[in-house]
Structure 1
Amino acid sequence: MWRSIRLKFVVIYLLLMLFTLQLIGAYFVRTLNASLVRDEVRGVQKQVSLLAAIVKPELTSGGGRSGDKPGDASLLSVFPQPQGGAIYLLNSKGVVEDTSAGSALIGQKRIDSVATQALVGHKSVSAVRYDPSADQHLLAVAMPLFQGDRFIGILEDVVSIQSTYSTMRQVTTIFYTGSALVLAFTALLGIGLSRTISRPILDVTRQTARMAKGDFSRRVQVVSDDELGQLGHAVNDLADKLQTALSENLRERERLRAIITYMGDGVLTFDRDLRPVYANEAALRCLPRGAEDFSRAGRLLGVQRESLAPAQEEWNWVRELDGALLHVHLTAIQREADTDGYVAVIRDVTEQERLYQKQREFVANVSHELRTPLTSIKSYLEALGESGDLDEQTRRTFLDVCRQEADRMVRITQDLLQLSGLETQGIRYVEGWVDAEEWLTAACQRLEMQARRQGVALDLRPVPQLRFRGDKDLLDRVLDNVIGNAIKYTAAGGQVRVSAECERDKLRVCVEDTGIGIPESDLPHVFERFYRVDKARSRRSGGTGLGLTLAREIIDLHGGRIGIESKLGQGTKVWLVLPLTEGEPA
């Protein structure tokens, strides 16, 4: 209840008003009372001065007193007095010489405090006292009487001023009654004013509470231009800016979450005790059992306290997990010089390592393929240079070997350049219409002489009448490699059969031979660079080991597929599929 600013404001306002009214009332009553009493004292003093001139002869006549003789009346007894009042004439010793209070008091010594002070001090004294027996307030005024310079007595007049106090009581009652009414009106006014002041504050309070809960849909209603209005404007402006900032922050968080969730690299966060906190889909895919291994991801990836150097903030290592090579980059999250957690970025480098291995093998193969003819050329040239007595036939034989080895290096270089151009799209692709029958017939005619020398029958089956889009020169290279290999690895008396058929919107070409075949373990590798099944025979026949690799790149460039099927000792079948142009008539 006392937490309400409205109640506090009203109570403080009322207390201030009450204190003000009490202060004003006390000052007013006290000032009015002193003024009224002062007026009464002045009136009585005037009356005493007048009586002093009348009764002074009684003290200067040698002590005789009026009324000593029978039938004589006292001068003061016949003087009119208000109710409760009395006049006393005292000599210099304080003995009553005359009084209006009754002859019984004449001759007695008066011990009244006012009279005593006047007798002792020889000066006028006035005082107000309360008479309990009469229940009224009395004003006593004593004035000294002198005969020349000689003090002869005093004249004391006691007057009732109860009417003055009754008037003061009525005035006080009226004042405090009015003060109570004013206080009540002030309370009502304070309640209304407090509502006017506290309503904007309550609106601001409710608005800030909504803002704390994330609700920025409402605004403070501003009805004035004072400080409270400025506060309302400030809160509304703060709500707008907070809403904008939080919306932007939320968008950034969602964008960051989306990036982390769908990025190719795995992201795994740990707390300061290296307990897993969050992992994206890529990180879970790196674990052997996915989400089931989340709780032990740190142990599986090698994230352990003893392996982290305390002076570092970043760590890198490669870990083999379930047959995959994972590169782990761990970073510490620092907050005010303390480590608040860790973030691990996980990248599967298995394929990258495989490519690196292939590159190393490729360099080794190129070096080996070039070293063999270079070694032969160097040996024969050294023999020619050192032996000056060689006959012309031997010299010509050595030079033929050098020329053959040089031609072999040229073929290897050309095949490598053509393969590199296909992979980097550096070879110009000239697309045109290719007639399937003419294409296959021309290829068989080019290789007919090689087949006859080898003693192999080259048979071309009927080809459907159709055309397709492609680069004829590159496609000729494919057939030369595939059909040439079939003839090369088929013994005399064998057969090579070339056929083609249309399968929906594709042309399927097959080259089958009855040659030596390929072992099953070598089939997955025949399209790799420099790979040979019969390495000795390939080198003797001038092969570079790049023919099928080039054929695959050319077929891929045309949007087709190439494959091989073989059984050792029973022959090999190579097939290629090329897409036909939609809508082109056969």
Structure 2
Amino acid sequence: MKQLRARILGFFMLVLVLFTLLFLYLISSILQRQAIEQQGEDLQSQLLTLSSQLDATQFEDDLDLVDLQLDQTAEVITERITFISPEGEVIYDTRAQEETLENHLDRPEIQQVLEGESIGTFNRTSESTGEVLYYAATDFVNAEGELIGFLRLSKNVEEMGGLTDQFIQTLALFMVISILVALLFTNYWTKRISDPIEKMKQITERLRIQDYSSRYREHSYKEIDELGLAINHLAMNLDYQMQEINQNQTQLKELVNHLVIGVMVVDNYGNISMVNPVMNEIVGEDLYGKIGMSYEEGLHSTALIDLITRAIQERSLQNKETTLLYPEEKVVDVNVVPILNQSKETINHIVLLYDITEIRRLEKVRTDFVANVSHELRTPITAVKGFAETLLDGALEDEEVLVEFLKIIHKESTRLDLMVQDILQLSRLEQHKVRGVIQDVRIKDVADEVRNILHQKVDLKQITLNVVEKEAVVMEIDRDQLKQILINLIGNAVTYTPNKGWIGVTIDRTDHEAVITVSDNGLGIPKESQSRIFERFYRVDKARSRNAGGTGLGLAIVKWLIENNQGRITLDSEENKGSTFTIWLPLKHE
């Protein structure tokens, strides 16, 4: 802006100087010409006056009297006086010696008189004096009209324009002062215009780098201030829009980061431009460190890479359910969605991975559950039906067979009833429809109550059952649910512990949790079965479990009850050496 201001001032100064010089030249020429014309008219008037005052009769009789009479006249006027004979000989001259002067008959002013002009005028450089002179000549005749000679007056042209030169100098000084004053005012006006424009330029530069805090606060002319206010409104609108964009981007980022679906954006060149944490979790890679790299380098699944490649090449939506083998086996639903701009050109591809491993597992569990329920119900139903048919076919007459069959029917129907009750209870637990009464419960009291309930089975197998309370633990829980947890765990321990074995129940606490441990020296659970022991209807030894009267749902119910109370359960077991179940439950119910 300073350069523009300097250019404006320079251009304005150049125009003023050129205009001044041209003006001075024209004025000086006009004034010079007018001064010369004015002085010429005065000189002609003096010439006519002088011509009328001279006595032509004296000149005719005696030309020597010319000198005397013209000398008297020269004392009065300052102009050069010359008297020339009709033949062109200079008879008298106030500035030069007559003998040194050549014939003047050919002088332009003399020729003009000879041609009939009353007064001949001309200005030129004098050959005798070397000055630029203005000449005025007229004929001098006697009473009879005969030409006696030529009378000529001349005056220095510089003297004639001297007053004009002074005027021009004064005018030039005035013009210089005017230029300086004009430059001062122009400098002020350009500064008043350029400074606000420079400020606007700075504001727009800051707007370009997305700094919307700058505002125009200068004071200039109305039109410039209106432009500055328009820039302020633009900055405020951009600031508001940028805040909205940042807020939307933040919301979008938070939304993407908290989605349960893995999200990855791949640009048109196949480079990864964005990922969310779930994507890293699903593919088992830290893709944040691979942003800007090709998706083929960042991913290890050939099926996933092929699907993205096909979407980029065909520019179409791709969907497929595939299995990822690294770092662990997962079933994912893959969607590769092309993102189009307004010109319908693909600019990005969004890769969406939905981990459906748990869904497929639950579907399998549900299928297995239906199959297991059908199988488990079929066994007692088949037994009841078979023995009832046998009795109806004639076994009623044999009292011993009748009693035996009725006992079997009663046993199987009881088992069927327990199974149905467990299924219904597990269903209610899964649907969170179980509402317990939360109260302060001492765990030792519930454990003693369970021991009393199971004492017949314990005494029958001569099992040693010890309940050890390392510290009195009182917790907030539904008493019946805690009782059912302990009945199932201790009951299973009694069932799978051989005669004269031992079972230990230990009660302890941490700062925020109650810790209950149920241990035995029973059959134990093989390593390959420990991860599935809490599944419904899963049995390590199915024949032994059925003979023991189990439904296969006890540990599944235990797990649901514990998890519904914000707790957890672990198993540590070794085959033929026993098992240890450890329960952690919060002391305060949430």
CA shift for structure 1 position 41: 3.2
User: Partners in 2 of 1:539 and 1:121 — Cα distance?
Assistant: 164
When residues 402 and 84 of structure 1 are mapped into structure 2, their CA distance, relative to the original with a 3 A threshold, is farther
What does residue 41 of structure 1 align with?
40
1:110 is matched with 105
In the alignment, which residue of structure 1 is the partner of 2:313?
310
409 and 23 in structure 1: CA distance in 2 versus 1, 3 angstrom threshold: farther
Partner of 2:73 in structure 1?
Answer: 80
Residue in structure 2 matched with residue 169 of structure 1 by the alignment = 165
Alignment RMSD: 5.5
TM-score (norm 1): 0.72
Matched, 1:428 2:442: no
> Which AA in structure 2 matches 1:508?
I
- Picking from 361, 364, 377, the partner of 1:360 is 364
Tell me if structure 2 keeps the 8 A contact 1:67–1:73.
no
Aligned amino acid, residue 134 of structure 1: T
Deviation string for 1:385-437 (max 9, x for gaps)? Answer: 9x9x944749x999999998777665444323322322342101122354656
Task: Find 2:60's aligned residue among 67, 75, 85.
Answer: 67
- Where 2:133 maps in the other structure, the secondary structure is strand
Other-structure match for 1:503: 508
Partner AA of 2:310 in structure 1: S
| TM-score, length basis structure 2 | 0.71
Aligned length: 560
Per-residue CA deviations over 1:85-108 (Å, capped at 9, x if unaligned) read 336687xxxx66997659999xx8
Cα 1:146/1:307, change in 2 over 3 Å: farther
Contact preservation (8 Å) 1:377, 1:401 = no
1:191 to 1:512, Cα distance in 2 relative to 1, 3 A: closer
1:16 maps to a residue whose letter is V
2:123 aligns with one of 128, 136, 147: 128
Indicate which of 107, 132, 148 corresponds to 1:137. Answer: 132
Shift in CA distance, 144/197, structure 1 to aligned 2, threshold 3 Å? farther
When residues 421 and 363 of structure 1 are mapped into structure 2, their CA distance, relative to the original with a 3 A threshold, is same
For the residue of structure 2 that corresponds to 1:139, the secondary structure is strand
1:482 maps onto 2:489 in alignment:
yes
Q: Which deviations, in whole Å up to 9, do the C-alpha atoms of 1:527-572 show, x marking residues without a partner?
A: 1112112224444665431111102222344455545555545555
Indicate conservation of the 8 Å contact 1:44/1:157, yes or no: no
The residue aligned with 1:62 is none
Distance 1:320 1:31, change over 3 A: same
The alpha carbon displacement at 1:3 in A equals 6.3
Of 533, 541, 547, which residue of structure 2 is paired with 1:534? 541
Secondary structure of the residue that 1:310 maps to in structure 2? helix
Q: How does 1:107-506 map to 2 (within 5 A)?
A: 110-117=105-112, 119-120=114-115, 126-131=121-126, 133-141=128-136, 157-162=152-157, 163-184=159-180, 187=183, 198-203=194-199, 222=218, 224=220, 226-227=222-223, 268-276=264-272, 283=279, 290=286, 294=290, 297-301=297-301, 302-303=304-305, 306-312=309-315, 314-317=317-320, 318=322, 319-325=324-330, 329-332=335-338, 337=343, 339-340=346-347, 342=349, 344-345=351-352, 349=355, 352-370=356-374, 373=377, 390-391=393-394, 393=396, 411-434=418-441, 439-440=446-447, 442-447=449-454, 456-457=461-462, 460-461=465-466, 469-489=476-496, 494-495=499-500, 497=502, 499-504=504-509, 506=514
- Partners in 1 of 2:238 and 2:33 — Cα distance? 68
1:554 and 1:524 map into 2 onto residues whose CA distance is 18
Shift in alpha-carbon separation, 1:144–1:458, aligned structure 2, 3 A? same
Note if contact 1:377-1:402 (Cα within 8 Å) is conserved in structure 2. no
Shift of 1:142: 6.0
Displacement, 1:160? 1.3
Distance 1:263 1:187, change over 3 A: same
Q: 1:268 to 1:156 in 2, by over 3 A?
A: farther
Tell me, yes or no, if the aligned pair for 2:490 and 2:518 is still in contact at 8 Å.
no
Superposed CA deviations along residues 359-394 of structure 1, whole A, max 9, x for unmatched, are 323223323422564598699989999x9x944749
Distance 1:146 1:363 in 2: 156
1:138, 1:160 within 8 Å by CA — same for their partners in 2? yes
**Greater shift in the superposed pair: 277-286 or 475-484:** 277-286
Give, as a single letter, the amino acid of the residue that structure 2 aligns with 1:546.
L
Q: Secondary structure at the match of 1:321?
A: coil
Distance of 2:30 and 2:63 partners within structure 1: 51
Q: Matches of 2:28 and 2:140 in 1, distance apart?
A: 35
Percent sequence identity is 20
1:67 match: secondary structure: helix
Query: What is the DSSP-based 3-state SS (H/G/I as helix, E as strand, rest coil) of the residue aligned with 2:435?
Result: coil
Q: Return the letter of the residue paired with 1:14.
A: M
Taking a change above 3 Å as real, the CA distance of residues 538 and 152 of structure 1, as seen in their structure-2 partners, is farther
* Cα distance in 1, alignment partners of residues 109 and 418 from structure 2: 152
**CA distance in structure 2 between the aligned counterparts of 1:555 and 1:496, rounded to whole angstroms:** 27
Matched residue of 1:518: which SS? coil
Q: Secondary structure at the match of 2:540?
A: coil
Q: In the alignment, is the contact (CA less than 8 A) between 1:76 and 1:99 conserved in 2?
A: no
C-alpha distance in 2 between matches for 1:438 and 1:98? 165
In the TM superposition, 1:89-104 aligns within 5 A as none
Hey, what's the Cα distance between the residues in 2 that align with 1:70 and 1:211? 101
Secondary structure, in 3 states, of the residue corresponding to 1:160? strand
Report SS of the residue matched to 1:300. Answer: coil
The SS at the match of 1:362 is helix
Distance across 2 between alignment mates of 1:246 and 1:581 = 48
Q: Which residue in 1 is equivalent to 2:18?
A: 19
User: Does the 8 Å CA contact 1:86/1:157 hold for their aligned counterparts?
Assistant: yes
Shift of 1:67: 2.8
Question: Do 1:377 and 1:405's aligned partners in 2 also have CA atoms closer than 8 Å?
Answer: yes
State the secondary structure of the residue aligned to 2:518. strand
Q: Sort the Cα spacing of 1:35 and 1:72 in 2 relative to 1 into closer, same or farther, 3 A.
A: closer
Counterpart AA for 1:307: R
Give deviations 1:421-478, integer Å, cap 9, x for gaps. 22342101122354656644544554456678xx534655467687654323333433
Contact kept, 8 Å, 1:329 with 1:346, in 2: the verdict is yes
Give the SS at the match of 2:516.
strand
Partner of 1:61: none
